[in-house]
Amino acid sequence: MVAHKYLIAGVLVMILCACDPNRVFDRNAAVDPKGWIPRDGKEFRVEITDTISIYNLYISLRHTNDYPFSNIYFFVLSRFPDGQLYRDTVEYVLADPSGRWLGKGLGKIKDNRYPFRKGIHLPEKGTYVFRIEQAMRENYLKGVHDVGLRIERY
């Protein structure tokens, strides 16, 4: 009976530690294992109701050791609830000059999270749509496992 109490207490502690009160949105989308084509943008729809908070936006990337470059370029299209559309081109470095991957993880897959926008205000209630496309000029970009978007309160 005492062992059950410790088990339940341990599970509750893990659940409470896993909570992230600042996280507003965190999703990833898988990329075709044959390669990520430029037209296959990953779209994330985010419902924002808090127009007072300040937010940080991050792009998440999981890639394998087979990824052929030391960096990656993305096109990021952001559509606000009122229809305004913004387009950004961003570059993130994935490896240091010696070729060592900068992401976290053991084995073949590396996890990365890069700041896209920090300290921004999302002024309208409604659905924001973020579309992330690879901009590497490769018809089939190999080695990308998935890409994602994370939004946190600042």
Domain carrying residue 80: 23-153
pLDDT tens-digit map of 30-54: 999 999 999 899 999 999 999 999 9
Domain count, the chain: 1
In a domain, 53, yes or no: yes
In a domain, 6, yes or no: no
In a domain, 52, yes or no: yes
pLDDT tens-digit map of 55-78: 999 999 999 999 999 999 999 999
Check which CATH number belongs to the domain holding 55 and give it: 2.60.120
In a domain, 37, yes or no: yes
For tokens 């387009």, the residue is 87
The runs of H, that is alpha helices, within the chain are 2-18
How much is the pTM?
A: 0.85
Of 85, 77, 75, 87, the closest CA to residue 137 belongs to: 75
Sequence-distant (≥ 6) Cβ neighbours of residue 104 within 8 angstroms: 110, 111, 112
In a domain, 87, yes or no: yes
In a domain, 140, yes or no: yes
In a domain, 101, yes or no: yes
pLDDT at residue 6 is higher than 60: no
Distance CA 77, CA 104 (A): 27
In a domain, 8, yes or no: no
